[in-house]
Structure 1
Amino acid sequence: MKKIFFILAPLAIVFSFAFVTSETLPIGARLPMADYQMANVKTGYFTSVKQEARENGVLVMFSSNNCLAVEKIKSRTLDAAEFAQKNNIGVVFVNSNEAQRNGSESYDAMKGYFNANKYDWSYVLDAKNALANAFGANFTPEIFLFDKNMTLVYHGAIDNNLNESGAVTHKHLLEALSAVSANKPVSVTESPVTGCAINRLMSN
């Protein structure tokens, strides 16, 4: 593995934000850019989604340091991530907010957020939104769950109520994780995604 020695320099030019990208990865698709290397604040090394996968698959969540929607589901996210790990499913959170790399979404800010929240899984920096573009991810939080064959089996939200955990009636992600860990089909494969737009950079 390559050790991270660099410090992300402030951006000299601020480009416009782009909130919508290519078509979202369809259910049944294979994991794209499986070997794409990203800086991991957990270890200080580079890693890929494929490297973070475990025997039963991998959970990929596009996240942020400064998104109210991410904060609202924080305890539910922790529960889901811990459940995944206990059931031999890898977990990787991805920060693709490239337009804020010189501030609240910098590598150092990510590291501070990671430590403050006591994450026990990888949190990676997606330079130039490459992974988000490949997935067609547009929001934080936005979830993609791949099974042991690296096939997408669930895409969407953590459950059916972003704002009130007490009003949740369908725990989409936990149900999908349970199915994957038991090598069974996922019954609900997609759900609507709401949250903060990923802050992309437009070069032109």
Structure 2
Amino acid sequence: MKKIKAILFLTLLAVSTAFTVNKASPGYEVGDVATDFSLKNIDGKMVSLSDYDDANGFVVIFTCNHCPFSIAYEDRIIAIDKKYKNLGYPVIAINPNNPEVSKGDDFVSMQKRAKDKGFTFPYLFDDGQKIYPQYGAKYTPHVFVLNKVDGDLVVAYIGAIDSNSSDESKAENKFLEDALDALVVGDNPEITYTKAIGCTIKK
């Protein structure tokens, strides 16, 4: 009997510990409601999600200037913004890196990068690194798709843009586009979470 009680106690402890670790994990999960933010854009103006009255949701992408993964995806991010902002899901790019640690990720360099590449979307600076931890972003790029439901912005997809960072033509899965295509017609994405591949965010 004592042995059975000991096993039961250890089992309950393991379950409780796993639950606690899960609940303590930082950042959003699919189904969570995202809060708004106010961050400086490359034009010097502050941008919030609430500024977009007509948006049905957002493609929030944490990215930066120097990471080769982010650079490889820039053209794809521009194409996604051009396609989906007209369908109600604009791209909002955020640079989460500490410029004192990550050289080339300062605000002036952000302005230059956006101009050189012809960014069609806001490119915001997470000054003080307060927003990316709320989302739970770990890499650049790291995608969070938000869908407006009864006035709330609900996280609908988290992860990678597609399955091939180096060559778009060889990407067998276009996770972000598939998620957006579903949302545009009022469906839920079939795949809601994938592992983001990129450079770690510099603190």
Aligned-pair CA distance for 1:81: 1.6
C-alpha displacement at 1:182, in angstroms?
A: 1.5
Instruction: Please state whether the residue corresponding to 1:187 is helix, strand or coil.
Output: coil
The reply to whether residue 65 of structure 1 matches residue 65 of structure 2 is: yes
Give the structure 2 partner of residue 155 of structure 1: 158
Which AA in structure 1 matches 2:68?
L
Q: Which has the larger radius of gyration?
A: 2
Q: Which has the higher contact order (CA 8 A, sep 6+)?
A: 1
Give SS of 2:183's match. helix
Matched, 1:48 2:66: no
Aligned residue identity for 1:199:
K
Mean CA deviation greater in 74-83 or 129-138: 74-83
- CA, structure 1 residues 71+103, in 2 after alignment: closer, same or farther (shift >3 Å)? closer
2:102 and 2:202 in contact (8 A); partners too: no
Question: What is the alpha-carbon distance in structure 2 between the residues aligned to residue 47 and residue 74 of structure 1?
Answer: 21
Return the TM-score normalized by structure 1.
0.80
Paired residues for 1:108-119 under 5 Å: 108-119=108-119
Alpha carbon RMSD of aligned pairs, Å?
1.7
Corresponding letter in the other structure for 1:40 = N
* Equivalent residue runs for 1:45-194 within 5 Å: 45-52=45-52, 54-100=54-100, 103-149=103-149, 150-194=153-197
| Other structure's SS at 2:193 match | coil
Q: Number of paired residues?
A: 176
Partner of 2:34: 31
Is the CA contact (8 Å cut-off) linking 1:156 and 1:190 kept in structure 2? Answer: yes
Contact persistence 1:54–1:89 (CA under 8 A): no
TM-score, scaled to structure 2: 0.81
User: Where do 5+ consecutive residues of structure 1 fail to align?
Assistant: 1-21
1:79 to partner: Cα distance: 1.7
Return 50-59 or 186-195, whichever deviates more. Answer: 50-59
- The structure whose residues are more often helix, as a share, is 2
* Structure 2: gaps of 5 or more residues: 1-24
Give the secondary structure class of the aligned counterpart of 2:148. coil
The sequence identity of aligned pairs, in percent, is: 22
- Letter of the structure 1 residue corresponding to residue 105 of structure 2: E
Give per-residue Cα distances to partners, 1:48-83, cap 9 Å, x unaligned. 233347431011000101010011222222221212
Which deviates further from its counterpart, 131-140 or 44-53? 44-53
| 3-state SS, counterpart of residue 169 of structure 1 | coil
SS at match of 1:100: coil
Which residue identity is paired with 1:26?
E
